[in-house]
C-alpha cells in the first residue's frame, strides 16, 4: 500500500528536548539557590532534579497524564528533598521552567526544509508523548493531525495511540509512515500495528535491539529521498 501519511515524533526528532529541558532546569536551579540559600540547595544539581522528576513520573504513571502537573509536583518534591517544602515557590519555579522550556526551544535545522518538500505530497502530523504543542515551537499550520499522549491518555508504543492517529489522519495504518528517534516507542510501536517506520538515528548509534526499522536515517532530509521524491538541495 502506498504511503500517504507521515507522522512525526516530537522530542529529539523535531527539536532537542534534552537540551532545552536541561537549559530550563539550570535557570530554575539558580532560582532555588537564590531563594533557599542553604548548603543542601547549593549541592543540588540538574541531574538530581531530573532523577526526582523521573521517579515521580514513574510513580504516577497512568494516574497523572498532564506533564505540566507532573513537572510542578516534581518541583515540590525537589524542594522537599532539600529540606525546604514550599508549594508557592514550586509554582513559581514551574512557571519559570515552562517559560524557558517553550520560549527557548529550537527546531533541528532539517525540520522546515524537509516539511517544505514533503507537505505537497503527504499528510503530515505530529504524534508525541511530550507536551510541546505545534504553536509552542513555530510549527502551527504545519500539521494536518496532532496527537499527544497526555490528551488521549495512552502513550507510544501502545498500539491504540497509533490507531487513534490513523483514524485522525483518515488513513489505513499500512498507509502511514512514522518517523522517530526511539526504537521502542516509535519504530517497534508503529511496526506492531502494521505501519512503516523510519528510525531517526541522529548520533549514528548502534542498534542493539531486535527491532529492525524499515528505514534508518541520520537526518530528516533523507526522508524525501526514501519516499522517491526528487532529490532537492536542502
Ligand atoms: Mg522522541
Tell me the per-residue pLDDT of 42-56, one tens digit each, with 9 for 90 and over: 999 999 999 999 999
Calpha distance 123→95 (Å, rounded): 34
pLDDT digits (tens, 9 = 90+) for 10-51: 999 999 999 999 999 999 999 999 999 999 999 999 999 999
Per-residue exposure over 53-62, b if at least 16 CB sit within 10 Å of its own CB, e if not:
beebeeeeee
CB atoms within 5 A of ion ligand 1 belong to 9, 11-12, 181
Q: Give residue 230's pLDDT.
A: 61
Could you tell me the three cell numbers for 153?
Answer: 491518555
CATH number, span 17-103:
1.20.120
Q: Are the CB atoms for 188 and 204 separated by under 8 Å?
A: no
Is the pLDDT score of 232 beyond 70? no
Confidence of residue 1 (pLDDT cuts 50, 70, 90): confident
Q: Are the CB atoms for 79 and 32 separated by under 8 Å?
A: yes
Q: Are the CB atoms for 75 and 93 separated by under 8 Å?
A: yes
Which residues have CB under 8 Å from 201's CB, separation 6+?
Answer: 181, 207, 216, 217, 218
**CA 37 to ligand 1 centroid distance, Å:** 36
**In the predicted model, what is the mean pLDDT of the chain?**
96
**CA 182 to ligand 1 centroid distance, Å:** 6
3-state secondary structure at position 157 = coil
**CA 31 to ligand 1 centroid distance, Å:** 29
Question: Considering only 85-94, 157-166, 222-231, which range has the smallest mean pLDDT?
Answer: 222-231
**CA 43 to ligand 1 centroid distance, Å:** 31
Average pLDDT over residues 141-146: 97
Is the pLDDT score of 65 beyond 90? yes
Domain boundaries in the chain?
Answer: 5-15+108-226, 17-103
Whether CATH 3.30.300.30 fits 5-15+108-226: no
Q: Give residue 233's pLDDT.
A: 53
Amino acid at each position: 500500500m502506498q504511503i500517504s501519511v507521515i507522522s512525526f515524533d516530537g522530542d529529539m526528532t523535531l527539536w532537542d528536548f534534552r537540551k532545552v529541558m536541561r537549559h530550563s532546569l539550570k535557570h530554575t536551579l539558580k532560582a532555588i539557590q537564590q531563594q533557599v540559600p542553604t548548603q543542601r540547595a547549593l549541592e543540588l544539581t540538574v541531574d538530581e532534579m531530573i532523577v526526582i522528576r523521573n521517579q515521580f513520573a514513574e510513580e504516577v504513571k497512568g494516574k497523572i497524564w498532564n506533564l505540566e502537573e507532573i513537572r510542578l509536583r516534581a518541583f515540590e518534591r525537589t524542594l522537599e528533598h532539600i529540606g525546604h517544602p514550599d508549594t508557592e515557590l514550586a509554582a513559581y519555579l514551574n512557571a519559570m521552567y515552562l517559560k524557558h522550556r517553550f520560549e527557548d526551544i529550537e527546531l533541528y535545522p532539517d525540520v522546515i526544509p524537509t516539511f517544505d518538500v514533503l507537505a505537497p505530497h503527504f499528510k503530515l502530523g505530529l504524534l508525541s508523548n511530550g507536551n510541546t504543542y505545534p504553536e509552542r515551537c513555530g510549527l502551527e499550520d504545519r500539521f494536518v493531525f496532532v496527537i499527544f499522549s497526555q490528551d488521549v491518555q495512552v502513550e507510544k508504543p501502545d498500539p491504540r495511540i497509533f490507531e487513534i492517529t490513523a483514524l485522525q489522519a483518515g488513513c489505513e495504518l499500512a498507509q502511514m509512515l512514522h518517523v522517530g528517534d526511539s526504537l521502542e516507542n516509535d519504530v517497534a510501536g508503529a511496526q506492531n500495528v502494521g505501519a512503516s517506520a523510519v528510525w531517526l538515528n541522529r548520533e549514528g548509534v548502534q542498534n542493539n535491539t531486535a527491532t529492525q526499522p524499515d528505514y534508518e536515517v541520520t537526518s530528516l532530509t533523507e526522508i524525501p529521498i526514501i519516499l522517491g521524491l526528487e532529490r532537492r538541495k536542502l
